[in-house]
Amino acid sequence: MMRRMQVVSIIVLAVAVSAHLILPGDPNAQSLIRALEKPSLFHPFGFDHLGRDVFLRVMHGAPRSLGLAALCVVFAYSLGIVLGMVAAYRGGLLDAVLMRTVDLLLAFPSILLALLLAGFLGGGPGPILFGISLGLMPQFARLSRATAGQVLAEQHVEAAEMAGFRTRAILRRHVLPPVIHSTLPIGVLSIGGAILSVSSLGFLGLGIRPPAPEWGAMISEMMPYISEARIQLAAPCIAIFFSVLAFAHLFRTGGKTSDQRRT
């Protein structure tokens, strides 16, 4: 059953990311005479208030919503594990300063940091990327610091240090692999949270600028028409739900694989 859910999750994500490449049509094309037209066989989600095909916009919005969320996690993950390993290896004052900074950032929810930065810098992909990455980074730094500290205390690492191996070689060969094994499942799960953050900021008007299709902005645009266009409003919500669910299943699979490797 777990293997089946993993396959379904991968298929859902693959279709979401690649469907816009094979679907014909312009997601921004307007036809006001079809505004709020109900779903049909060839237009399964109907049309929005400007006469745009909602199905096309959901599919074309997937790479933006998923891609930006994944990019946020990649930046946060890379920076977090590097800071954690450096703090564990150097120790002393540098370790204390880095970890206290991480603790300070942990006091703020990631969505709050992203909201403040996006509002201050004017919104758009750049501020969203910086804000969400900054909010997600502390959890990776903390976990990386704990794992790296345990690995550095092992005898084979101490032997490598005594043998004169360079710091970069020790971190890359002995510390980085177990750090990745312990943090990667959390990284995969964090993509789901990042999708929600990106969509939330888009809903508030701080995300990707219209008319580019983005799930959160699409929900915001259709809110005034909730009584007459429920399916059009539900379409991006469904896309967000299944995307987050897919990454959650990948997290469960990745966590079990990581545990098996440790044992």
Count the neighbouring beta carbons within 10 Å of the beta carbon of residue 227: 7
Q: What is the pLDDT of residue 235?
A: 93
Q: Which residues contact 261 (CB under 8 A, 6 or more apart)?
A: 181
Cross-strand pairs, 47: 53
Report the chain's C-alpha Rg in angstroms. 22
Q: How far is CA 194 from CA 58, 65, 114, 127, in A?
A: 18, 9, 10, 14
Domain ranges of the chain: 2-262
CATH of 2-262, picked from 3.40.190.10, 1.10.10.60, 1.10.1270.20, 1.10.3720.10, is 1.10.3720.10
Distance CA 111, CA 196 (A): 9
Collapse the DSSP code of 47 into the 3-class scheme (helix H, G, I; strand E, B; otherwise coil) and give the result: strand
The first and second tokens of residue 15, run together, are 């279709």
Mean pLDDT by 10 residues, the chain (263 residues): 66 75 84 90 91 92 90 94 90 89 86 82 83 91 91 76 73 85 90 92 86 91 91 93 85 55 49
Q: Under the phi-then-psi rule, with left for phi > 0, alpha for psi from -120 to 50, and beta for the rest, what region is 29?
A: beta
pTM of the predicted model, to two decimals?
0.86
Of 70, 29, 22, nearest in space to 213 by CA: 29
* Burial group, residue 121, by CB count within 10 angstroms (0-12, 13-18, 19+): middle
Of 165, 174, 208, 185, nearest in space to 60 by CA: 208
The first and second tokens of residue 152, run together, are 């550095």
Check: CB of residue 180 under 8 Å from CB of residue 238: no
Check: CB of residue 51 under 8 Å from CB of residue 32: yes
Q: What is the pLDDT of residue 256?
A: 52
